[in-house]
Structure 1
Amino acid sequence: MKEFIPLRIAVLTVSDTRSLEEDRSGQILTDLVAQAGHLLAARDILPDDRDAIVARLRGWCADPQVDVVLSTGGTGLTGRDVTVEAHRDVYEKEIEAFATVFTLVSVRKIGTSAVQSRATGGVAQGTYLFALPGSPGACRDAWEEILRPQFDYRHQPCNFVEILPRLDEHLRRK
């Protein structure tokens, strides 16, 4: 049987109004990461500023001590919601099915209100990135229903952990 491999996960909250003490969604993600046996690589809060978000995402992607970045907030439809655009500025490849599966999970929980989420996932510089809604419930659902199993090397028939070493193979010298 395969053994569990802990990942190094950074958590970014995007909010113009929250502080670390008031960051329920970021705290939920941080707690779930630890409960699953993974390591918290970093945690930060940034305002809804596309350039600042891009810079933080790129910085974490360049850090060999970060395998995954989970952001929460800024995935809605309002003018200040720029997290999805920031993520897409960084992605080398988008994981389109993440949004689809997240929508399926959300429909079971909140019905047609699921259409208001623009949750997304992708890969850059050998790092997984996922933009989750700012709702604590949505963060918990994304983690429990999708990310926790995919971040477990023992999950079959396949998982994100087993292909992690190959995500940046196109960047390596041949």
Structure 2
Amino acid sequence: MAHLTQRNFVSLNIAVLTISDTRNFDNDTSGQTLCDRVQAAGHELIDRALVVDDIYQIRARISQWIADPQVQVILTTGGTGFTARDNTPQAVLPLLDKHVEGFGELFRQVSVPEIGMSTLQSRALAGMSNGVLVCCMPGSPGACRTGWDKILLGQLDSRTGPCNFAPHLKPQAAQALEPCEARS
């Protein structure tokens, strides 16, 4: 079980991308949910954007952030279902250097108490690219709360032990992070 260690908290630079054909910044409750939680946890919301569910627009925005030396984490919401317009996995997977296999599996597992077997229709995924963690979640505020509260809050907290993602991200000025603890 994860626990907080004696390490110091390190604020991460996080960008949030909403992928939707129908949302704008005035009614983007899912993106706002992520932004609010990022900031409440003490991280820096370094950028926020909204693109339509188009493979090339998604790739362009995420590629820009992956190449940005300041961005350490990208959180996306939307486009992970099975409709013809749900293209986030197809857009993101080719950009990843490493796939975080357990993210989608764990997301679906922790979603069962909330939405039952409908969680099978989530294609949530995560991976690393150029020292940036990219996490793709469904486009509902509830899914964003679940993903953040039950998975990402701890995994993006540099104090969480025995392991968290913080030491694997591209470093920023004055960030000296210790590697994961050994299991006893």
Give the structure-1-normalised TM-score: 0.93
Give matches, 1:1-174, under 5 Å: 1-165=6-170
Q: Unmatched 5+ residue regions in structure 1? A: 167-174
CA RMSD of aligned residues (A): 1.0
Q: Give the Cα–Cα distance (whole angstroms) in 2 for the partners of residues 88 and 163 of structure 1.
A: 19
SS of 2:143's equivalent?
helix
Post-superposition offset of 1:162 = 2.2
Query: 1:99-121, CA deviations, whole angstroms, 9 ceiling, x for partnerless residues?
Result: 11101101121110100100000
- Runs (4+) off by over 3 Å: none
Could you say what secondary structure the match of 1:21 adopts? coil
Tell me the alpha carbon deviations over residues 39-72 of structure 1, each in whole angstroms, 9 at most, x when there is no partner.
0010000001100100111100000110000000
User: Which residue number in structure 1 is paired with residue 176 of structure 2?
Assistant: none
Q: Which runs of 5+ in 2 are unaligned?
A: 1-5, 172-184
Equivalents in 1 of 2:139, 2:15: separation in Å? Answer: 16
Select the structure that is richer in helix.
Answer: 1
Q: How many residues of Structure 1 are paired with residues of Structure 2 in the alignment?
A: 166
What amino acid maps onto 1:78 in structure 2? Answer: T
Normalised by the size of structure 2, how large is the TM-score? 0.88
